[in-house]
Structure 1
């Protein structure tokens, strides 16, 4: 893997296979995604999958420690100054790309997903050509369901 691609994956906080993060779409992120397109798949998750990911696989960054999101007090202490007090506020902020999206996304540790049921086919092709990598748009939800 080219060092520039590896650095871009690191900047996107994708350091392990089958990890996932939420990012806000802007010109910079689109450029980064195009650079790493052969190695990642991305799209627009629905509210149901955002909620399930945070409830099942969610961990927060508290004093550089990975803390499970089992208690709303953890969220309130870390993000209370932004008006985010509970898991439902976290889900709402991510799903609707609210004004404090960046703070919430960086509070959440990258999600460690399972291998997809049924495996991956065509990993050397982009999604639109029948492969697995690249932009899936709304079809990312089917993959999340397989991996969650």
Structure 2
């Protein structure tokens, strides 16, 4: 049954403490972003040294302040995608029947309605393109999930 598969998938998230795990990951991402900002801002008030060496440190700080949050965000999304596979495996373990979840995922895959058409017109403009593409997704591609489930 599809509903059973979907509910078991969500129970898999609960059983594997995904909310706690992803909250910790989000806190770590936030801490890295804050530390990079502190480092960047402290460079402006750093005393001593030549202007040239100060300029190099500022350049390095700017690069780190920009790249560090992006890199940790991509790591966070990668972890999130992996947790989806764990929840899928848990669903199969709970139901002992991967077919229900496979059918549910195939239905989602076949629905070609753009997400912004499924919500109120007031929030539709919030659905913008993801600049990171697949790396910025919280869920792995449906095809990949279905392939893994079919092998179970």
Which TM-score band (shorter chain)?
under 0.3
Q: Which has the higher helix share?
A: 2
TM-score by length of structure 1 reads 0.25
Q: TM-score, normalised by structure 2?
A: 0.25
Q: Quick check: which one's strand share is greater?
A: 1
